[in-house]
Structure 1
């Protein structure tokens, strides 16, 4: 998800290449999920003929100030991005659009052409972004509800420490709260907590003053460095947890130390247990919780073992399948195939087996009633050497059917 550094990179590019130029053409997508609260045609009409006076940002929101209101605002969502034709911007992997794709991209939600021929586009592959039109974007939600910007309006150290002392939420949840401080998202929160050696589940009010100071410093350093390199993650320092936070558990390491994952406030958090240790009452509560989980898992394991031993069997076979995949595979088979696999009802002694004569024959033909005929004793011995009683019966049946036909025809 684009966070403060990615959105700031887009703002800087717009400021450098687009400010002072007039919009001569505009095209808004017919996507009411992204184009929010305004008809695409009205959005186009509001922009054409206007000159871009400034590009502003607060938190993860960006807007263009025109020579007269209204102004378009952009909330980047999960994968929103600004692209200027011929200008390389953020290399944020989830929002990257290949340069070989058509221009504007098929993911373009707002395309703008300027009076000097320069073109830019706001794209969104996942459609979680929002484009709105406001007379004064700063005076209305969502921008009016944001806390101080983490880059442009950093809290003073004393205010920062006091604010944490009044909050009982986990520190990771507080950093993600945009009304407390705007601009920090999931990856940045993980990074600053790792750099400050603070566990993501540590209660904010229980963090020591020394660690609060370290966190205040790390927020500043991480933001400044990521903005300095244009939000290009390839240029982030090698010792950042960022490079390994999306690897699978057990395969994620930073500086040779194992990265673990925990869910805080509904978000997956990467941290290093060896360095980020819970303090005080939080540690005791975590230990109690861990013991409770271990005991529950142990009880579940015992119950499952007992269940396996007592599993009922029917007719020498397990009563039901144990694999969901097997059930799905069975369901995927055509109805006729499933019917073939079912156990057929026993045949009466006097019936002939019509489908035994032609293997793989037509099912409809095989479903016809078997022909009945009078049994006549077969000539010769009734038993054959080396055959079981079942084989003898089946052979006998075949012989009696064949032998019975000829005498009947001769008599008639």
Structure 2
């Protein structure tokens, strides 16, 4: 049996620079195991194709269980690798084929890498990798092949980081060199807890499309119906369930952060989902749809301890066998005609559910108020500039503009920060200060960040230089990939991470921001002072009222004492006592028969 690994790596450099850097990548901080490289054949064909063959010599550490068997106590051995590369300038492809030429009696590892420009952005390069591990050693075949694939997965990432380091050194000399980091140093633990944005909802859409398309939902249940009832916006849980049961689903659609089911019967009832802050779908025993990091996280926890958004992106048959079903925080549960068990989970219960009386939900609320979807319908540059310039107020800050779902649907907090970081725009930079070149850069990076995040499928595959990996510090100042300080500010009502040394404002813009912040701070202090004075006034009123009550009570008691003394000392005199005026009240007064008393002299 042959073990196979298929993966890819995204370089944020054009194809020509990547190929140029490929020949200069040794030595680099990640290539300590490479002892030598020697070119022993090179030729250019008639169709302008460059063919090169190299011999690479490197050390290869042997695991403890194999030291005695394969190298008689030595912890490492020397491996010789033949690498053949084919550079096709016409097709813009660069292919490398590598294979070990010694230790073949134990195992053979064949690696093929194809570098080509990204179809969506010529300034990026995608490297597709495929590895085959084969062993013919009886009794150790499976063990050796599994070990080879695991070792390759670790080393190929370090090799890619080494090439990135070289590319930064060659083509970005004005920036600090990226720090030498290991895979474990990247902080990605908060990915599972963040609010679902366009990439997460798109991933859920693809998953549901795979298992729900062309099937019927036979049953809908609500494990916690009472607390969920207020999350149904224009329907009840019963009517929402009836809109799903026994209706054939032909497709799962999405726009921005909203997701809905397209039905085959063309009835004007469309169920719509919004994940809120922690919602997502989970399908029991959905094979080959896994998030490796989340699986590792779950397996380290006790049973039934899965929580939050982590649940929404864990799909593994072996994992499901270890966990109870349905998972915790299940709010809606579907059963399909094909036997799939689908759960909508939501830790914080901020998800929303709509039932639209139309087969075209995009023309109805809440979808009709949304702006363009940057993944499905990114406008051309000219139209994008027109949309931005017609936005009001024109002086809005860029961070607030990107968060406005009526302008661009699906962008949330971390994506907006990443777009501004890649564009080198300060979050407080105003829309009406952008020129055509800056609009072009903003347009390009909106498309780049969204497509890269969606295509990656997992945060571990995001480019290493992204701000995403370094921003999750609970507002504590830290450093980005280039060792530049990351600071935090509240812009557009959300916590914004930015790098002041990279995302700069002009002197005029900085002065405007300082004046605005000073006025905001003055307003805040004035409000606090007013509230404090109002509080003192209220307290004084209470004290005065209390003193008045005490004085009035004391006067009444004194009058009673005087009246008593006068009654004792003075002779009895008959006199007419005036009747006290009646008390006016809004409440209905009770009528009663009063006895009239006549006083005579």
TM-score range for the pair, normalised by the shorter chain length: 0.5 to 0.7
1:49: how far off? 1.1
Change (3 A) 1:138 1:165: closer
Change (3 A) 1:110 1:291: closer
1:36: how far off? 3.2
Between the two proteins, the alignment pairs up a number of residues equal to: 295
1:120: how far off? 1.2
How big is each residue's C-alpha offset from its partner over 1:343-386, in whole Å with a ceiling of 9 and x where there is no partner? xxxxxxxxxxxxxxxxxxxxxxxxxxxxxxxxxxxxxxxxxxxx
Structure 2 match to 1:121: 343
Between the aligned partners of 2:481 and 2:521, the Cα distance in structure 1 is 28
Change (3 A) 1:73 1:273: same
Does residue 1:96 correspond to 2:310, yes or no? yes
Structure 1 match to 2:130: none
Between the aligned partners of 2:521 and 2:362, the Cα distance in structure 1 is 50
Q: How does 1:235-274 map to 2 (within 5 A)?
A: 235-247=461-473, 248-274=475-501
Between the aligned partners of 1:25 and 1:233, the Cα distance in structure 2 is 34
Does the 8 Å contact 1:202/1:279 carry over to 2? no
How big is each residue's C-alpha offset from its partner over 1:50-103, in whole Å with a ceiling of 9 and x where there is no partner? 111110000000001122332211011111111121233677895112755432
Between the aligned partners of 1:66 and 1:293, the Cα distance in structure 2 is 51
Change (3 A) 1:193 1:158: same
Change (3 A) 1:40 1:165: closer
Structure 1 match to 2:276: 77
Between the aligned partners of 2:415 and 2:493, the Cα distance in structure 1 is 16
Match of 1:138 among 340, 347, 362: 362
Change (3 A) 1:220 1:57: same
Structure 2 match to 1:16: 210
Structure 2 match to 1:66: 263
Change (3 A) 1:38 1:192: same
Does residue 1:181 correspond to 2:408, yes or no? yes
Between the aligned partners of 2:335 and 2:412, the Cα distance in structure 1 is 32
What SS does structure 2 have at the residue aligned with 1:222?
Answer: helix
What TM-score, normalized by structure 1, do the two folds share?
Answer: 0.67
Does residue 1:208 correspond to 2:208, yes or no? no
Q: How does 1:158-237 map to 2 (within 5 A)?
A: 158-166=382-390, 167-230=394-457, 232-237=458-463
Does the 8 Å contact 1:83/1:89 carry over to 2? no
Between the aligned partners of 2:373 and 2:440, the Cα distance in structure 1 is 18
Kindly indicate which of the two structures has a greater share of residues assigned to strand.
Answer: 2
Between the aligned partners of 1:225 and 1:209, the Cα distance in structure 2 is 24
Change (3 A) 1:295 1:106: closer
1:221: how far off? 1.0
Between the aligned partners of 2:481 and 2:514, the Cα distance in structure 1 is 25
Between the aligned partners of 1:294 and 1:76, the Cα distance in structure 2 is 35
1:262: how far off? 1.1
Does residue 1:110 correspond to 2:335, yes or no? no
Does the 8 Å contact 1:165/1:206 carry over to 2? no
Change (3 A) 1:294 1:112: closer
| Structure 1: runs of 5 or more not aligned | 297-412
Between the aligned partners of 1:229 and 1:62, the Cα distance in structure 2 is 20
Change (3 A) 1:214 1:114: same
Between the aligned partners of 1:221 and 1:292, the Cα distance in structure 2 is 37
Does the 8 Å contact 2:252/2:261 carry over to 1? yes
Structure 2 match to 1:155: 379
Specify which structure has the bigger relative contact order, considering alpha-carbon pairs within 8 angstroms and separated by 6 or more residues: 1
1:189: how far off? 0.3
Does the 8 Å contact 1:81/1:122 carry over to 2? yes
Change (3 A) 1:293 1:117: closer
What TM-score, normalized by structure 2, do the two folds share?
Answer: 0.46
Change (3 A) 1:114 1:291: closer
Between the aligned partners of 2:503 and 2:470, the Cα distance in structure 1 is 16
What SS does structure 2 have at the residue aligned with 1:73?
Answer: strand
Between the aligned partners of 2:342 and 2:254, the Cα distance in structure 1 is 17
Does the 8 Å contact 2:428/2:513 carry over to 1? no
Change (3 A) 1:103 1:227: same
Between the aligned partners of 2:239 and 2:484, the Cα distance in structure 1 is 55
What SS does structure 2 have at the residue aligned with 1:6?
Answer: helix
Q: How does 1:40-55 map to 2 (within 5 A)?
A: 40-55=237-252
What SS does structure 1 have at the residue aligned with 2:445?
Answer: helix
